[in-house]
Structure 1
């Protein structure tokens, strides 16, 4: 499976988790409290990290692609960073970068029925 990846900086992680969970119709797949959250939908891999001084800024884009052999990154002709990676590699990098993520069972947002 191949999912488009978008990574944003946010001002407040908890408020952003509630907002994006409602917008995406599901809770995040992984959360590192106070630092990071990530959602995996059928088409999108969306992550946020708390960085108030950069809130609202695009951090990078890329593709979650299970056929990716390794994590790489490059810049496109406009200077935008692109990261192709497998889901397994992303999960490993979450732990290396932010710490052990918890896998919430819908506890961050009350979603409309």
Structure 2
């Protein structure tokens, strides 16, 4: 499975989880209270992290790809960060960066 990945900074994690749950039609797959949430839909891997100073800004984009080995990050010609990772690599990175998530 290959999913497009979008990561945004948000002002209020709880309010954003409620909004994006409605917009995406499903609850997040992982939530780290007060820090992070992530949805895996059929086509999209969408994550948010609470960062009021950057609210509404794109953090990075990329692909979740089960055929990927590990986790890579590069910048394109416009300075946008692109990540490429397997599901397992992202799950490990979430724990390392934000803590152990709970399912919503």
TM-score, normalising length: structure 1:
0.91
SS at match of 2:70: coil
What is the Cα deviation at residue 70 of structure 1? 1.5
Q: Equivalents in 1 of 2:77, 2:17: separation in Å?
A: 32
Tell which structure's C-alpha radius of gyration is larger.
1
TM-score, normalising length: structure 2:
0.99
5+ residue gaps in structure 1? 105-113
Q: Equivalents in 2 of 1:70, 1:33: separation in Å?
A: 26
Alignment match, 2:17 = 17
Structure in which a larger fraction of residues adopt strand? 2
Q: Equivalents in 1 of 2:100, 2:70: separation in Å?
A: 21
Q: Equivalents in 2 of 1:34, 1:75: separation in Å?
A: 28
CA RMSD, aligned part only?
0.4
Q: Equivalents in 1 of 2:95, 2:79: separation in Å?
A: 27
